[in-house]
Homo-oligomer: A and B are copies of this chain.
Amino acid sequence: MRLSDTDRLEAFSDGVMAVVITIMAFEVRAPGAPSWSALHHTLPDLLVYVLSFTVIGIYWNNHHHLLRATERMSAAVMWANLHLLFWLSLLPFVTSWAARFPLHAVPAACYGLLGLAAALAYWVLVRSIVRANGTDSAVARAIGSDVKGNASLVLYACGAGLAALTPVVSYTCYAAVALLWFVPDRRLVRPPAPGVLPPEG
């Protein structure tokens, strides 16, 4: 028995995302003293980690549903997927920078720019999948208009732009994106592709 190309792609992407999560948690350095106040000082690290974990969790969830509905692969899809993984692999870098300087504008802006880049890469991946499967395919019909995706782009851009005012506004924007995507994409969950069981019971 041989696995399909989409299984392969999913497995590799899952591997990268699993390591990204664990590397980010690993960068939350243990407090330098055995006290509650020392733990309190790692609070920015922990909060930024929660945000970044949620970002990866959302991408994993949506990526999973997207590829479930995909029937045909192409070279363009494989590169578009690697392109998305490239931006996600830089999340530990921005996360540890933002955790170290939680009240500064530039890391907060870069966090948003990375979010923007990843969201655009996801959009390119969706387009390349639709092109490979045809506009009549189950996945293409399921996509329809992408309100959440567009809202995410606007929120990341606003967060990055407003970081110069105050980073708190930026992180609020990024948390809003996370809340927005918390529920998986109904478009892909509701009408299952032929031969694919609906992921919701």
Using a CB–CB distance below 8 Å, which chain A residues touch chain B?
1-8, 10-12, 14-23, 25-28, 30-31, 33-36, 38-39, 50, 53, 57, 60-61, 64, 68, 72-75, 78-79, 82, 85-86, 89-90, 92-94, 96-97, 100-101, 104-107, 110, 131-134, 182-184, 189, 195-197, 199-201
Contact = CB atoms under 8 A, between A and B. Distances in A.
Nearest 6 A/B pairs, CB to CB: A15-B18, A34-B104, A34-B101, A30-B97, A19-B22, A132-B201
Contacts of A92: 22, 25-26
A2 B18 CA distance: 21
Contacts of A182: 79
Mostly, the A contact residues are helix
A72 B199 CA distance: 8
- Identical copies in the complex: 4
Nearest to A68: B5
A74 B28 CA distance: 31
Contact of A11 (B14, B73, B196): B14
Most buried by B among A3, A21, A34: A34
Given A22-B23, A184-B78, A201 B30 contact: no
Contact of A30 (B6, B8, B12, B100): B100
B199 A73 contact: yes
Nearest to A91: B25
A133 B39 CA distance: 40
25 contacts: A2-B4, A2-B6, A2-B7, A3-B3, A5-B68, A5-B199, A15-B15, A16-B22, A18-B18, A20-B22, A20-B25, A23-B23, A23-B26, A25-B89, A28-B90, A30-B93, A33-B101, A39-B106, A53-B86, A61-B78, A61-B79, A72-B201, A74-B200, A74-B201, A75-B199
